[in-house]
Amino acid sequence: MVSPHFDLPGLPAKGRCLVVGVVNVTPDSFSDGGEWFDRGRAVEHGLRLAAEGADLVDVGGESTRPGAQRVSEEEELRRTAPVVRELARQGVAVSIDTMRARVADQAVQAGAVLVNDVSGGLADPSMARLVAGTGVAYVLMHWRGHSNDMEKRAVYADVAGEVHDELRMRMESVVGEGVDPGQIVLDPGLGFAKRPEHAHNWQLLAHLDRFDDLGRPLLIAGSRKRFLGRLLADAHGADRPFTESDDATLALTALSAAAGAWAVRVHDVRPNADAVRVAAAWQDGGAALKAGRGEPVGSLANGGTAPSSTPRSGQ
């Protein structure tokens, strides 16, 4: 896989895999549905994630769980803009998780430094031009359709090859609309039109090096996803609940970092922030540490500290 040493506009280059912490301001996301729906709690949670070591905090206002229905643009704006603004004001590097250009635009105006578009520019024809105009970093994810019918689109003869080719085409398309290739981060879209029972996600992870020729950094976002629960099913064939898949997520992070991922997107930040540091020290043989370039965990621009408890999902 390509190395994490990529310079992206407006983002920290830390010479290691970055950690993106998730704040879903939704009543129904699969992994933390309802936990941070309240605006004040969402901000508090984002601050906690930053203090625990998140390099970026990803704020989303629309659930993309399989089968989910869309929310209106107004509702998505109402959920996200104030949270983005307050986190950015407090010195957090914020990313906006949206498929809508207008939501992305308002978030960037409120201080977001990255647009995370799970549709790779397919859901909103205005997204590429907006991203080009703002110049911010852009996560372009592999996507085959909205959550209400993505499962039936998960048909592949060679999942890694097809995801690779579809990402390349999407990249060419947004570059054709003015996006600078240097703004782009690619994401294979684990769990999106990928079926646990067909091991699509594992096929992608096993073949991440096939994305090298695209020449862009990779974001890996497998935290608490169903394919982990399926792998860890019990003797009766029941999937491990996502509330008990944070250890598996941590393993995924360590392996992704070792494989050269630019960033991982996770819910439980603290152990994953540790894992990417372990991977970096392993890779450079402790050179940065010896040279006094060790890095404190969770240093916010405003010096914030973590509130004490980290609530778990109740879903």
Q: Catalytic site residues? A: 225, 265
User: Rounded to an integer, what distance in angstroms lies between the CA atom of residue 202 and that of residue 221?
Assistant: 13
Q: Judge whether 251 and 220 are in contact, CB under 8 Å.
A: no
| Beta strand segments in the chain, E | 18-24, 56-60, 94-97, 114-117, 137-141, 184-187, 219-220, 263-266
- Give the position of tokens 């999106």: 192
Smallest gap, in angstroms, from Cβ of residue 291 to ligand PMM? 33
Residues 13-32 that bind ligand PMM (CB under 6 A): 22, 24, 29-31
C-beta of 150 vs 288, nearer to ligand PMM: 150
User: Rounded to an integer, what distance in angstroms lies between the CA atom of residue 127 and that of residue 105?
Assistant: 9
On the CB side of 52, CA atoms within 13 Å amount to 24
Binding mask 90-129 for ligand PMM (x = CB under 6 A): -------x------------------x-x-----------
Smallest gap, in angstroms, from Cβ of residue 266 to ligand PMM? 9
Q: Judge whether 61 and 26 are in contact, CB under 8 Å.
A: yes
Spell out the residues 6+ positions from residue 72 whose beta carbon is closer than 8 angstroms to its own.
none
DSSP 184: E
Tokens of 255: 């392996």
> How many CB atoms are closer than 10 A to CB 234?
8
Amino acid at 200: H
C-beta of 134 vs 245, nearer to ligand PMM: 245
C-beta of 65 vs 153, nearer to ligand PMM: 65
C-beta of 65 vs 210, nearer to ligand PMM: 65
Asked if 265 touches ligand PMM (CB under 6 A), the answer is yes
Residues 36-75 that bind ligand PMM (CB under 6 A): 64-65
Binding ligand PMM (rule: CB under 6 A), the pick from 46, 111, 121, 189 is 189
Binding ligand PMM (rule: CB under 6 A), the pick from 136, 139, 257, 276 is 139
Helix, strand or coil for residue 186?
strand
C-beta of 242 vs 254, nearer to ligand PMM: 242
C-beta of 167 vs 288, nearer to ligand PMM: 167
The residue among 240, 246, 238 whose CA lies nearest residue 222 is: 246
Rg (CA), the chain: 18
Q: Judge whether 193 and 153 are in contact, CB under 8 Å.
A: yes
Q: Judge whether 202 and 169 are in contact, CB under 8 Å.
A: no
Smallest gap, in angstroms, from Cβ of residue 35 to ligand PMM? 11
Residues 235-264 that bind ligand PMM (CB under 6 A): none
Binding ligand PMM (rule: CB under 6 A), the pick from 47, 174, 208, 219 is 219
With CB atoms as reference, the residue minimizing the distance to ligand PMM is 221
Smallest gap, in angstroms, from Cβ of residue 267 to ligand PMM? 6
Count, residues near ligand PMM per rule CB under 6 A: 20
Site residues for ligand PMM per CB under 6 A: 22, 24, 29-31, 64-65, 97, 116, 118, 139, 141, 187, 189-191, 219, 221, 224, 265
